[in-house]
Amino acid sequence: MRTDLPRSSETFSATLAALHGAAAELAMHGSAALGTIHRVAGRIKDASAALGLEAAYATADGILHAETADEIRALVARLTEQLNETSDPGREFPVTILVVEDDEPIGQVIGLTLAGPNRTVLVVESAAEAERELASREVSLLMLDLSLPDGDGRDLLIQVRGTDNSRHIPIVVATAYADRTTHAECFALGADSVLTKPIDPMVLESVVAAKLEAAANARRDRGEDALTGLPNRAAFFEALGRARAAGSAEGKPLSVAIIDLDHFKHVNDRHGHTAGDAVLQASARRIRGALRISDFVARYGGEEFCAFFSNTDVSGAVIALQTVLAQLRAERFSGNDGVTFGITFSAGVAPIHDDVTPEQALAEADRLLYLAKAAGRNRVCSAIEASNLPRPAALLVEDDDAVAAVVSALLDRDGLDVSRYAEAKPALSAMEQRAFSIAIVDLGLPDMSGLELLACIRRLPRIKPLPVLMLTGSGAENDIVDAFALGVNDYVTKPFLARELRARVCRLIA
């Protein structure tokens, strides 16, 4: 694939803007406008072929062979509809354009020109206002006048390019100065484009769309997750290392969290993977949008996100995530089957101290996430919340004292109230008298086999739904087949990995 082609169906905005502008000028600038239409339509045709967009490919090809202006304009309108239908709004992150312009009528015209779906245009009149907006929100593109009531726009340009959080923002300078020296200086100071006033709206839209597209591609190249647009795991650890060093030097608190969408497999299985992608994208937007610009959120993998909170203790991070959870809880999604549904998440939050590595803090956050899931999901859990959570009851049927001690300690550490029995019959009696969240059963027991105990559980109506995990030294095919035939929910062989057992227990009880 040619490297200069759009990488996805969402990045045609700049080419479509140019195509619409040229189509509108066909009457006045016939041959020149037609040349522009052919070049731009050819690029869209190539990109559509690379992306597998057959309908858009056919329409772009039709534009290349159209003979009248009316036919061209109709095909351009159709092509725009096709590309907009192909683009999934859930995949397209909202962008914020900050316009610094002290002439109110010009600011209004720029705002109307750049407004569109998933775009927020903020117009401010001074450098001071611009600085406040840049500090308080994530800005996707800065449009900057040079003559401002409180200073020279070039000073703001230097400031933005010298700040870590904003150095990658595309900057378009709009100025009444037409001399080459001023334009050259702006480029030298870091401007991405310089436009001379009065600015043609078509040119303005095309330049801004192209800069937003280039910035989106650059973000992906810098280590962003392709689906959600968030940083990926590698970028997260790199940023966390810098934040930890800065926090340690300044004596400021730092907290870390792991966030897991609840029952996400059910979303994919019942509503389709397209709906699952939409949930991931909306969750990423919601989490990122609700946190401060100094906080950092990344996709950890699958349906998990990770975040760190600079200059924030654990209680502050918990409050921030509870706010996000309340917002996400109120959102509704629609599956391929037309059924609407909601989504929640569970999260674990832990502090990072000087004597704790990021990996250790994340492991603690993961443990607390496990407790949040075990307590019913849909909650944020720190060590303080964990102490107040109800402890799920686990029944362990294991005749080996050493194995029982290890498993009991592991589950107790993770917040489960473990009742251990060495024989099957007393364990069965206990199940009939007390509600358990899970039963972990050995295969070889003194009074009856684990398979016989499993069969009894599945015959008794009151305890039949109880999740059962077989934990045994037997990896024999017949034993595994028989266990699943009798209704076991999971099967783990000894020796086992502690993290794997925890994950399997969590999956069954939450």
Q: Provide the strand spans (E) within 366-449.
A: 380-381, 393-397, 417-421, 438-441
pLDDT value for 386: 81
pLDDT value for 117: 67
pLDDT tens digits along 115-149: 876 678 999 999 999 998 888 777 889 999 999 99
- In 148-298, alpha helices (H): 153-161, 180-189, 201-221, 233-250, 264-271, 273-290
Judged by DSSP in three states, 322 sits in helix
How would you write the pLDDT of the chain (510 residues) with one tens digit per residue?
A: 333 444 443 456 666 777 777 777 776 656 777 887 888 888 888 777 766 678 888 888 888 888 788 888 888 888 877 776 654 333 345 578 999 998 888 888 888 888 876 678 999 999 999 998 888 777 889 999 999 999 899 999 999 988 866 778 899 999 999 999 999 999 999 999 999 988 888 788 888 888 887 877 776 666 777 678 788 888 898 889 888 888 888 888 999 999 999 988 888 888 887 788 888 988 998 888 888 888 999 999 889 999 999 999 999 999 999 999 999 998 888 877 778 889 999 999 999 988 888 889 998 998 899 888 878 889 999 988 888 877 788 999 999 999 999 999 988 887 788 999 999 999 999 999 988 989 999 999 999 999 999 999 999 998 999 999 999 999 889 999 999 999 999 999 998 888 888 888 877 876
CB neighbour class for 431 (10 Å; exposed up to 12, middle 13-18, buried from 19): buried
Residue 168 to residue 165: CA distance in whole angstroms: 8
pLDDT value for 201: 81
Contact present, 420 and 408 (Cβ < 8 Å): yes
Contact present, 238 and 249 (Cβ < 8 Å): no
CB neighbour class for 179 (10 Å; exposed up to 12, middle 13-18, buried from 19): exposed
Residue keyed to tokens 């937007």: 285
Q: How far is CA 488 from CA 188, 270, 369, 420, 462, in A?
A: 68, 23, 25, 19, 16
pLDDT tens digits along 12-37: 666 677 777 777 777 665 677 788 78
**CB within 8 Å of 89: residues ≥ 6 apart:** 117, 118
Contact present, 487 and 450 (Cβ < 8 Å): no
Judged by DSSP in three states, 133 sits in helix
User: Looking at residue 460, what DSSP letter applies?
Assistant: S
pLDDT value for 302: 86
pLDDT value for 315: 94
pTM across the whole model: 0.51
pLDDT value for 30: 64
pLDDT value for 14: 64
Judged by DSSP in three states, 448 sits in coil
The separation between the first and the last C-alpha atoms of the chain, rounded to the nearest angstrom, is 45
Residue 154 to residue 175: CA distance in whole angstroms: 11
Among 443, 403, 399, 435, which Cα is nearest to 417's?
Answer: 435
